[in-house]
Amino acid sequence: MFGNQIAGNISAKGKKTFQSFDPKNNCPNTSYFFVATEEEIDLALTQSSNSFYSFCSGSPAERAFLLEQIVEQLIELKSEISQAYCKESGLSLSRFDTEFKRTVDQLLLFASYLENSKVDFISETSANQESSLPHLVKKKIPLGPVLVFGASNFPLAYSTIGGDTVSAFAAGCPVVVKAHPFHPETSFLVGKAIKSAIDNTNFPQGIFSQLFDDHFDVGQKLALDNRIKAIGFTGSYTGGKALFDLANSRQIPIPVFAEMGSINPVFIFPESLKNQSEFWAQHFAKSISNDAGQFCTKPGLFFIPNTENGKIFISILKNKLVQEPSFTMLHPTIYNRYEIKKEQLRNLSNGEFIEKKGSLSQLEGRQGLLTIDKDEFLQIELLKEEIFGPFAILCFYDSHDELLTYTKELQGQLTSTIIATQEEIINNEYVIFNIKQLAGRIIFNGVPTGVRVCESMQHGGPFPASTDARFTAVGTDSMLRFMRPIVYQDNC
Amino acid sequence: MFGNQIAGNISAKGKKTFQSFDPKNNCPNTSYFFVATEEEIDLALTQSSNSFYSFCSGSPAERAFLLEQIVEQLIELKSEISQAYCKESGLSLSRFDTEFKRTVDQLLLFASYLENSKVDFISETSANQESSLPHLVKKKIPLGPVLVFGASNFPLAYSTIGGDTVSAFAAGCPVVVKAHPFHPETSFLVGKAIKSAIDNTNFPQGIFSQLFDDHFDVGQKLALDNRIKAIGFTGSYTGGKALFDLANSRQIPIPVFAEMGSINPVFIFPESLKNQSEFWAQHFAKSISNDAGQFCTKPGLFFIPNTENGKIFISILKNKLVQEPSFTMLHPTIYNRYEIKKEQLRNLSNGEFIEKKGSLSQLEGRQGLLTIDKDEFLQIELLKEEIFGPFAILCFYDSHDELLTYTKELQGQLTSTIIATQEEIINNEYVIFNIKQLAGRIIFNGVPTGVRVCESMQHGGPFPASTDARFTAVGTDSMLRFMRPIVYQDNC
């Protein structure tokens, strides 16, 4: 039985509980989690709000120390966390290792950034005595308590101590996490590590609380509460848009950064395939199918030249994709949604639909491809939407004008990938311009999966990829989501 | 008869027209302006959208040249503009001169910024070959066509070529202006200057259009159109909030930066008044009454220590305020709204209400003060809202705890002003912290009116002062409202 984690205490006042699910073994896990009550929600918010002053009065170095302490405590609990992670997500131990390392590296990156950069300074303009113009120092200050929604597909790196929490902490904002119901035990253990880390600092425990719920009530109540000043979310369009609308319906609207995924188009130019069809087919087969394609940056739509090389590329891709291993999906609901979406596509389209054959374990995502023509792409809206799973749509194009038409039909994206020679990039300036308009990250001759966590990353793109393209969910700039500029005039 | 200005052409296809009003002479002006038709709106948007590629493909230096050309053309038309300005706003010639200079300086500031800064560069992270990590260059790109709403109280500096248009141009965004109906001729002349300036560049005329309407239809249609990618607005809470809701109701929501004014609280600490009551009373009397208090940064609420010095300050302020000259207000609707608001306050409050006596010209704003006590402040919501006019509310406080209570009752502000000694600032850390939470600009020992246009300015604060506290409406950082980050991965 696991209770809610409120400012360092465990609280189990409610009557409702839920269990998580073990996708590998296709059965519920044995632990129960208490859904937070109104009283518990209120307490978490009060503690969060009350801790804000002392948290953000601390120095950036003190916040860096907190992040480093969290790393130590995570390492302490690593083996416990790994067990919970695997049994709640169906992801492999090797994926756990990768994600654990990434989570640790992310904490250390922010710690180092806090130690080495003037994180709160923006600019200074000197007084001009002659014209009686004042002296101005522009800084950044934290917004206040941030509500973080854990993501289903990254139980560590985008959840309880994922990018949202780390950037909010780095900014000086207390955090209330609404744990993702798919991996509550993993979240609980990470929350435990955070509590121990806070104990080793001078900060109050109020800076972190984590609440459980397998429905929307707790999240909605938190999002509507006046004490919450910003929201970070990673998940579906439906969830992100609902939160965005909720936050804007408040008497005092607040910023919501919802990263809602995308289909991540890949634009392949003809010359780039010369003698490279096999190379790219292999790379993309892995990028589509790894971890059952459950990445927000999985390439889901390819524009391929209607040439001999284009056809060779497709035929190799088909081969390679079905040869890749299949992976267990995160949850029955995700598996079922994937199956339904594939079925819809198969029914709507006259294109060639292929799938990996043979028997798979239950809840393993079966790789597939759908090859369509231009008319279908323009007519069927579903073809422009994310498919969460190891699936991609392939669409031929005959001319650069046709490619241009496609770019104008697409919605906002997290990434756009360009496979092209330098010459093709230079000679297709206007097409490239339109591809750039689509996304927050443009990959040249690479695959979009694997988001580097660093200062220069941009993860977030025009709506509906995210709710505010002017910010990023990954990298040190993600702190900017939870800060605002303030100028001090003549404070001397 | 004045038509709409669409991509360099004058268009008068509609049947509806309107006139502006001369507040000094309390009568309509003689010119008529054509309300834009649906067809004209569509044409302006098409031209704007089509011009985006070539506009933002130009270099920052070319955009700087455009801004410099606009300055030249404004100077060319200065005397014509000044006549229209005065007869449409009731503002004085000397105020025109100040605002004209400010508008020119603002254009030149942005031009110089474009020439001397790497405006589109954010950061770069090198590849790490060993770990196969990609090379990343993070830049800023413009969002696309921006819709700008001219403000009533700054016919130049916050209107057709005001801060919103200048920052959008500097960012590389085409602009469609919905001219403010109070000063359409001023706007038209400025639009004419912009057209001539564009003629001297290689940019297409589509980057600028200006449409007229004395109702909300044109603005609403523009705001809802998919080709508009962001909105800049300066005006009332009602107008700004309506636009914000409209923009968020779109299938693809867009960012709205609405600067909606505030009451701009002034917190006076006891020691600061020692021998300084007269000094501060004189400064604030001017700051409240200048140009009839029609500034979004006019101080409208004072927290004054309930001490001998505090009482002296109030008594001098009363004297000084009524001795200040009165000014014609911008429009009968603004004058009437001011009169109604004062009447409401006088009826709601038991406090002492004073006004300047004697006869004034029609539409001149009569200065006034209302002195209230703590209980009234906590009970009456209207006391926390902006009064657009030469009026302020004075509220005594007895202790720092009381001051703290006040800070927690206030909504988001553009500015908060602290009048205090260095010792008081240091000794009241928690009160000062709470004052900082309120606003985007904190003035120490000065008046909030007079916003310096420079790199470090922050003009915009927590809701409802503006719709997004993470951005500024004034200063070179205001470009960030109309740009978004993008990262190029391995573009080499």
Helix (H, G, I), strand (E, B) or coil at A163: helix
Using alpha carbons, select from B68, B4, B482 the residue that is nearest to residue B209.
B4
pLDDT of residue A284: 98
Question: Which candidate in A40, A68, A185, A259 is catalytic?
Answer: A259
Determine the distance in angstroms separating the CA of B482 from the nearest CA of chain A, rounded to an integer.
Answer: 9
Q: How many whole angstroms separate alpha carbon A156 and alpha carbon A153?
A: 9
User: For residue range A199-232, what is the model confidence (pLDDT) as tens digits?
Assistant: 999 999 999 999 999 999 999 999 999 999 999 9
**DSSP 8-state symbol, B469:** T
Q: Is B279 within 8 Å of chain A by CB?
A: no
**DSSP 8-state symbol, B36:** P
Tell me the backbone φ, ψ of residue A404, rounded to 5 degrees.
-60, -45
* Residue burial A286-309, b: 16+ Cβ < 10 Å; e: rest: ebbbbbbbbbbbbbbbbbbbebeb
Which residues of B are tagged catalytic?
Answer: 259, 296
Would the CB atoms of A442 and B488 count as touching at under 8 Å? yes
Residue B240's CB: how many other CB atoms inside 10 A? 25
**pLDDT range class, residue A473, cuts 50, 70, 90:** very high
- Amino acid identity at B184: P
Does position B492 have pLDDT exceeding 80, yes or no? Answer: no
The stretch A141-166 carries a mean pLDDT of 97
Strands (E), B196-342: 208-211, 230-234, 256-259, 265-268, 301-305
Helix (H, G, I), strand (E, B) or coil at B168: helix
User: For residue range B88-127, what is the model confidence (pLDDT) as tens digits?
Assistant: 999 999 999 999 999 999 999 999 999 999 999 999 999 9
pLDDT of residue A302: 98
Q: 């990954």: which residue's tokens? A: A474
Does position A492 have pLDDT exceeding 80, yes or no? Answer: no
Q: 């606003």: which residue's tokens? A: B439
- Best mutation site among A138, A438, A467 for testing chain B: the one with the most B CBs within 10 Å? A138
Determine the distance in angstroms separating the CA of B314 from the nearest CA of chain A, rounded to an integer.
Answer: 24
Q: 């303030």: which residue's tokens? A: A486
pLDDT of residue B109: 98
Vertex B422 angle, CA B418 and B427, to 5°: 90
**DSSP 8-state symbol, A155:** T
Tell me which residues of chain A, numbers 384 to 443, contact chain B at a CB-CB cutoff of 8 Å.
411-412, 430, 433, 436-437, 439-443
DSSP of A19-71? --EETTTTEE-S--EEPPPHHHHHHHHHHHHHHHHHHHHS-HHHHHHHHHHHH
Overall pTM surpassing 0.90 (yes/no): yes
Q: How many whole angstroms separate alpha carbon B486 and alpha carbon A414?
A: 10
Q: How many whole angstroms separate alpha carbon A449 and alpha carbon A293?
A: 9
Q: Is A145 within 8 Å of chain B by CB?
A: no
Q: How many whole angstroms separate alpha carbon B480 and alpha carbon A409?
A: 27
**DSSP 8-state symbol, B205:** G
Rounded to 10°, the helix B237-249/A237-249 angle is: 170
A159: which residues sit within 8 A by CB, 6+ positions away? Answer: A150, A151, A177, A179, A180, A183, A186, A187, A190
Tell me the backbone φ, ψ of residue B478, rounded to 5 degrees.
-65, -20
Provide the β-strand partners of residue B368. Answer: B355, B391
The stretch A455-474 carries a mean pLDDT of 97
Burial classification of residue B80, based on how many CB atoms lie within 10 Å of its CB (0-12 exposed, 13-18 middle, 19 or more buried) = middle
User: For residue range A54-86, what is the model confidence (pLDDT) as tens digits?
Assistant: 999 999 999 999 999 999 999 999 999 999 999
Tokens for A172? 């000086």
Option in B441, B463, B477 nearest A253 (CB): B463
Does position A409 have pLDDT exceeding 90, yes or no? Answer: yes
**pLDDT range class, residue A290, cuts 50, 70, 90:** very high
Strands (E), B384-458: 391-397, 413-419, 439-444
pLDDT of residue A373: 87
Q: How many whole angstroms separate alpha carbon B392 and alpha carbon B322?
A: 12
Does position B273 have pLDDT exceeding 80, yes or no? Answer: yes
pLDDT of residue B413: 98
Q: How many whole angstroms separate alpha carbon A245 and alpha carbon A411?
A: 19
Would the CB atoms of B456 and A487 count as touching at under 8 Å? yes
Cis (ω within 30 of 0) for the bond into B332?
no
Percent of residues, chain B, with pLDDT higher than 70: 100
* Long-range CB contacts for residues B76-79, cutoff 8 Å, separation at least 24: B76/B193, B76/B196, B77/B189, B77/B190, B77/B192, B77/B193
A342: which residues sit within 8 A by CB, 6+ positions away? Answer: A355, A368, A387, A389, A391
Contacts of A454 in chain B (CB under 8 A): 125, 133, 136
**pLDDT range class, residue B374, cuts 50, 70, 90:** confident
pLDDT of residue B212: 98
Contacts of B455 in chain A (CB under 8 A): 123, 125, 138
Does position A131 have pLDDT exceeding 90, yes or no? Answer: no
User: For residue range A232-267, what is the model confidence (pLDDT) as tens digits?
Assistant: 999 999 999 999 999 999 999 999 999 998 999 999
Percent of residues, chain A, with pLDDT higher than 70: 100
Cis (ω within 30 of 0) for the bond into B255?
no
**pLDDT range class, residue A381, cuts 50, 70, 90:** very high
Q: What residue in B sits closest to A414 (Cα-Cα)?
A: B486
Rounded to 10°, the helix B78-89/B60-76 angle is: 70
The stretch B145-149 carries a mean pLDDT of 98
Residue A191's CB: how many other CB atoms inside 10 A? 23
Report CA A190 to chain centroid distance, whole Å.
18
Question: Is B29 within 8 Å of B2 (Cβ atoms)?
Answer: no
User: For residue range B412-444, what is the model confidence (pLDDT) as tens digits?
Assistant: 999 999 999 999 999 999 999 999 999 999 999
Q: How many whole angstroms separate alpha carbon B216 and alpha carbon B163?
A: 22
Does position B375 have pLDDT exceeding 90, yes or no? Answer: no
Determine the distance in angstroms separating the CA of A360 from the nearest CA of chain B, rounded to an integer.
Answer: 32
**pLDDT range class, residue A17, cuts 50, 70, 90:** very high
Does position B23 have pLDDT exceeding 90, yes or no? Answer: yes
A259 is catalytic: yes
Provide the β-strand partners of residue B115. Answer: none
Torsion angle of alpha carbons A88, A89, A93, A99, nearest 10°? -120
User: For residue range A422-445, what is the model confidence (pLDDT) as tens digits?
Assistant: 999 999 999 999 999 999 999 999
Q: What residue in B sits closest to A128 (Cα-Cα)?
A: B452
User: For residue range A291-302, what is the model confidence (pLDDT) as tens digits?
Assistant: 999 999 999 999
The stretch B135-153 carries a mean pLDDT of 97
Tokens for B47? 């031209």
Mean pLDDT of chain A: 97
pLDDT of residue B154: 97
Mean pLDDT of chain B: 97
* ipTM value > 0.90: yes
Q: Is B137 within 8 Å of chain A by CB?
A: yes
Q: How many whole angstroms separate alpha carbon A312 and alpha carbon A315?
A: 5
pLDDT of residue B333: 97
Contacts of B256 in chain A (CB under 8 A): none
Q: How many whole angstroms separate alpha carbon B407 and alpha carbon B411?
A: 9
The stretch A148-154 carries a mean pLDDT of 96
Q: How far is CA A103 from CA A19, A75, A112, A450, in A?
A: 25, 11, 14, 14
Question: Is A149 within 8 Å of A178 (Cβ atoms)?
Answer: yes
* Residue burial A113-133, b: 16+ Cβ < 10 Å; e: rest: bbbeeebbebbebeeeeeeee
Tokens for B212? 């007229």
Q: How many whole angstroms separate alpha carbon A302 and alpha carbon B484?
A: 25
Tell me the backbone φ, ψ of residue A260, rounded to 5 degrees.
-115, 15
